[in-house]
Amino acid sequence: MRAEWDRILGFSLVGLGAVFVVLAYFGVSDSPYLAEQLSFITSGGIGGLFLLGAGATLLHAADVHDEWRKLDQIEEFLREQAKQR
Amino acid sequence: MHTGRRLRAEWIAGYSLIVVAGGVLLSTWVGVSGSRFISDQLSYIASGGIGGLVILGLGAVVVVTAGLSDEWRTVDRLQDALRDYGGFAAPAAGEGGDPAVLVRRGRIVAGLGLLLAVAFVVPAWFRISGEADPKPGLEALTWAVVGLVLGGLIVALATLSVQRRIQKHKRRLFALWAAAGAGSSDETEREHVDEGAEQVLTAPGLTRFHRPGCPALAGLGARSIECGDIPAALSPCELCGADAIPREEKTWTSVAG
């Protein structure tokens, strides 16, 4: 669980970002005032994009961490084998 | 600076930029929701909104490329380990290119992409901030978004290019091992081979025996041994699946009566 914090946070941010974008859409479509619509676009639209971007970055970082762990295990195994030879 | 410390600094810088982008976007939202004038709101969106997303892109590039750079170094270490394991004819560590140079190049291209986005955003902001009529402001904002999308595409392509280079490097490194693994992965085929296997290989100074074709023996001058004559001191290589080869048990019957 501790090793997966970036993946959990990444998925949470992506989910939250999607919710923000959907809420922004409903806010904009329900309001007849341009000033209010722009406020929704800023908070939900751009804010949602920010959350999606930050979440995607964390998910990518989590994948890279997984690869490190696998490669480290292979390296450890090979070093053990080399010692036993 | 020590590589580990430099990487840590890059991670902290990248995540800090992402947090700064979040702060800029929050202040933009406060500005937009507190203003009644559309021209002011558009100005906030062009500067803080799009600008915040550009800062987010910069932070993401730093975090992702720092991770890729470290992965490349890990693969280089693994290459050394493969050489230590069996004189395996793997390319020398660093032969695929210098990770620092590769990452720097990727970052320069990504930085140019972000500069392109800024080049669209700044004129748009100037146009919006000096205009009371929202129509040209909205048009200028559209161009800022176009710049952001173009810059984002360049950043994504630059990052993917670095990632592809690393994947290629890994494929080259593991190609021989993958071939050996594929040869022994099919259980039926493996059993068939085991039934018919009469010989295994070893090399002077080794404490393991291997299947024919095991890449761990590459360049070691291997000699073959009959399965029935494998010395008890030799243990099977687990990488090529030699542990599946049955070793003949020699039983002795007393004839002394």
- Candidate from B36, B60, B238 with C-beta closest to A53: B60
**Of the given ranges (A56-65, B6-15, B223-232, B236-245), which has the lowest mean pLDDT?**
B236-245
Burial B235-256 (b: 16+ CB within 10 A, else e): ebbebbbbebbebeeeeeeeee
At position B9, the amino acid (one-letter code) is: A
Does the beta-carbon distance from A38 to B41 stay under 8 Å?
yes
Report the alpha-carbon distance of residue B194 to residue A38 in Å, rounded. Answer: 72
A82 and B85 in contact by Cβ < 8 A? yes
Give the rounded distance of the alpha carbon of B104 from its chain centre: 15
* Window 62-91 of B, Cβ < 8 Å to A: 63-64, 67-68, 70-71, 74-75, 77-78, 81-82, 84-86
In one-letter notation, the amino acid at residue B164 is R
Nearest to A46 among B36, B38, B49 (CB): B49
Q: Tokens representing B63?
A: 């975090």
Tell me what percent of the residues of chain B surpass a pLDDT of 70.
77
Question: Using a CB-CB distance cutoff of 8 angstroms, which residues of chain B are in contact with residue A64?
Answer: 64, 67-68, 70-71
Query: pLDDT (tens digit, 9 = 90+) per residue, A18-45?
Result: 999 999 999 999 999 888 888 899 889 9
Cβ-in-10-Å burial (0-12, 13-18, 19+) of B133 comes to exposed
Residue B1 banded pLDDT, cuts 50, 70, 90: low
Mean pLDDT along residues B195-213:
73
pLDDT at B137 over 50: yes
Q: For B112-125, write each residue's pLDDT tens digit.
A: 999 999 999 888 88
Is pLDDT above 90 for B19? yes
Nearest CA among B70, B235, B63, B35 for reference residue B155: B63
Asked if B32 and A39 count as a contact pair (C-beta separation under 8 A), the reply is yes
| The predicted structure's pLDDT at residue A73 | 80
Shortest distance, CA B46 to any CA of chain A (angstroms): 10
